[in-house]
Structure 1
Amino acid sequence: MAATSDTFSQENPYNREFWLGYFANLALIMGMSSLFRYADFIDYLGGGPYQLGLVTGCGMTGGLLGRFLQGRLIDRLGPRTVWLCSLLALTLFVLLHLTVQRLDTPWIYLLRIGMMISVAGAFSASLTSISLKAPQGRTAELIGVLGSSGFIGLAIGPTIGDWMFRGDEVTFRQIQAMFFMAAAMMTLSMALAYLSTRRDLRVPPHEHPAVWTLVRNFHPGWLLTIGIAVGAGVLMPQVFLRSFADSLQINQIRYFFLAYAFSAFSVRIATRQFTDRYGVKNTVLIGMACLVASMVAYLPVSDYWMLPLPAVFGGAAHAFLFPAVVAGGSTAFPRRYRGTGTNLMLASLDFGSLVGFPIEGAIVSWADEQGWPGYPAMFTVLAATFALTAILYGIFGRKEIGEEYGDPEGEGSLESDPSLPPEPECAVDQAEREATSCR
C-alpha cells in the first residue's frame, strides 16, 4: 500500500496535495457530467428509456465486479497506481464509444462496463487516498470536502452539454463533441492526480486476507442497504433526468444541475463536520428524508423553471448521504484494509444502480404501456421504497460504527479472527506516518 506523505499533517490536512486531488476530482466529474446527455446518444442510436436503463444498468456490473479486485490492488499497490491507470483506461473507453453504430450488439455494453470499471477505480482510489491521509476523527470531513468538487463539476458539465446539444435535432457532430469533451477532462484529471500523489511514500507489502474474510469481520451491516438505496436514488438523475425532461418537452436540463450543485455544495460545506460530531446514523436519516422529498418534488414539475425544486432536495440528500455512507462503512475496516472497505461501500452504490436503473426504466415503460404517466409512477414507487428503507435502518441500523465512530480498531480487534494476519511492523497509522522510517 502507498503510505502518505508526511506533509499531509494532522494540523492542516488541506495542503497542496489535497487541493491537487480536489481539482483532479473536479475535472473527472466535469467529464462524467458532460456525459449526462448519454440519453441523447441512446436516442440517436434508436433506443428509448428501457434501452437507456438496460445499457447503464449493465454498465454498473463493471463497477460492481471490479470493486473488490480494485480494493485488493489499492491495498497492495497503493491508491496512486490504481488512480492513474483507471483514468487512462477511462479516457480510452469514452473515446471508443464513437465507434458504436448499433444498440443490438454487445459492443456498447462492453464499452459501458469498461467505462464504469475505470471510473469506479478512479473514484475509489481517490477516496482511499484522502481517507488514509485524513487525521483521526476527520475522515468524513475530508471525504465530504473532496466530494464538494463534484458538485461544482455537476454545475459546469451539464451546462456545457446543453450548449453542445443546442438545437432541436441531435447530430453525430454533437455526439462527437460530447465524448471528446469528456476525454479531455479525464486527461486533465490524470495529470492533476499524478501531481497530487507524486510524493506518496511506499511501505513493504503485507499479506491480504480473502475479501470475504474481511467483509465478514468488518462489514457495516444495514449501512450497506442504505448504500444500495443511494445508488438507486441519488444517482438516478444522472441517467433519467434528460429522458424525463424530454417527456415534458423540456430541452434544457442545466437549471436542474445548477440548483442541485448549489444545494449540495452549500449543504456539504456547512455540514462538513456533521457526521463526525453527530454520528453516521443521524446523518443518514436526514439524508434519506431529503431523498424521499426529492422524489415527491418531481411530481408537480411541468416546466423548466420547476426543475430546481427536486434538485434542491436531491442535492441536500447527496451532500448528507455520500460522505456518511462511505466514511461510516470504510472506517469499520482497519487502516491497512481501507481500500477494501471503501470499495465495499462504493460497491453497494453500484449494486443499487445495477438493480435500480433497469427497474426504473422498466417502470416507466410499463406505466406508459398501461396508459399511466410513466415518470410519476416511477417517482412514487421510489419515494415509498426509500421511506421504508429509512424506517428499517432507523430501527435496526447500528448507532455508531467504525474507527472514528466507536471501536478504534474498526468493529473488533484484528485478533478477533485467527485467519487475519498480524499487523505488519510498518502499518499505516497516524503516528508512523509522522516518523521518518519504519520501526
Structure 2
Amino acid sequence: MSEIGRGDITSDKEIRNYRLTGCPSCGACQFMGTASTMQCMAEALGMALPGSALLPTSLRDILDWSRKAGYAVMNLVDKNITPKDILTPEAFKNAIVIHAAIGGSTNAMIHLPAIAHELGYELDPDLFDELNHKIPHICNITPSGKYPTELLWYAGGIPMVQLALKDYLDLDVMTVTGKTLKENLEELENEGFFERVIGYLNNYGLKREDIIKPVKETKLFGSVAVLKGNIAPEGAVIKYSAVNKNMWHHIGPAKVYNSEEECYEAVVNGKVEPGMVLFIRYEGPQGSGMPEMLMTTEAIAVDPKLNDSVVLITDGRFSGGTRGPCVGHVSPEAIVGGPIAFIEDGDLIELDIENRKLNVVGINGERCTNEEIEKIFNERKLKWKEPERKRKGVFKLYTDHAVSAMKGAYIK
C-alpha cells in the first residue's frame, strides 16, 4: 500500500483518479477491514457457505455460490437446523482462531460477543487474548500485510486457512451445509476447489505461500490484544499486527480531546508533536454511539512526522483498515466515569503491547508511584461532572442502554 502524505496530491484530476480506482468494483473493502473480516467470521462460524467469504464480485463464481445458498437454505429447513445448532461455543472459538490468523478487524471483538449474547452466553474478551498468544498469523493481507483481500480468496480463502490451522480447530462443528467443518473441507479438496482458484492467483505471478504463509515459517502470533491497566480496568483492544515493532512499547505525554473532531483538527493543523499519546474520549457506546475514529487515524498515518511515533487511545472504535498504535474500546468509557475521563494533558502514558498493559505512569511529565497516581485520580474523580447527554430518539435509546464495548456494546 503506497503512503500518500500531505501535499502529495496536486490536482483535482489526481483526486478524481484515486476516486475512480480506489474501489474499482462493487463489494467489500480491498483490505481486511470490518466488512471483509465479518464475511470471514460468518464463514468461520459455519454460518456462510465454505469458500464464500471474500469472493470477488466480478467473477462468475459468485452466481454459483448464490445458487448454492438457496439450496442450502432449503436443506436447513428440511433438516430443521437452526442458528443455535451452528453458533456453539466451539464455533465461536474457531472463529477467533481464524480472526487471529487473518489479521481481522478489532470490530469483530464487538460483533462476536454481541452475537454470542443473543444466543444466551457471554464471550469473554480474554479468550481473544489467550488464543492470539498462540495462533500463527499466516495471512499477508493489508493492513497487517501486503496484499488486497481478493488475493486471499484466490489463494484458497478461509477454507485454506482452516486447513492450515486444522490442529487448532474443532472440525466436528455443524455448519450451514448440514455437514461438519471437516466434511466441508474434504468436499472442497475432492472437487478441486483449491486447484481451481489458484489459477486466478497465477495471473498475478504469485504463489499461495505469498498470501498464506506456511505455519512453520510464521514468526508473528495472533493479531489483536486485550490491554488492561489503570486506564482500562475492563480492557481495551489493539491490532498489533498492524503496528510497527518499535511502537510496541511507548511512554509519552497525554494530549486529551473530548471528541474526534477536536483531535482531528489538532492533527491536521500541526498541533500534535511526535511522541504524544492522544486521547479521544466520550466516543464510547454510551457517549456517542461508538463511531469509528478513521478520520483521525488516517490523518496521523499519512503524516510522516507522526505516523511512527504517536499513539491514539479512545473509548470509541476504529476502522478495520486502521494501522499504527491505535488503542480502542477503552472500558469503562468516559461518559460513565471510567478512568479515561480523568486523564489530563501531560500525564505520562505507557503502552506495553508485549505485556498487555495500558497505564498512567506519571503526572505532569514526572514518573509517580501507583499509589500517588491512584490518589490523584480519586481527587480528579470528585471534581468530574458527567457531560450533558444530547442524543435524542432512537440514538438516545441506544446510548442510554448500551453495555461496555468489551462486552459487545449491545443494548441491555
TM-score (norm 2): 0.28
**Structure possessing the higher relative contact order (Cα contacts under 8 Å, 6 or more residues apart):** 1
TM-score (norm 1): 0.27
Query: Computing the radius of gyration over CA atoms, which structure comes out larger, 1 or 2?
Result: 2
* Structure with the higher helix share, 1 or 2: 1
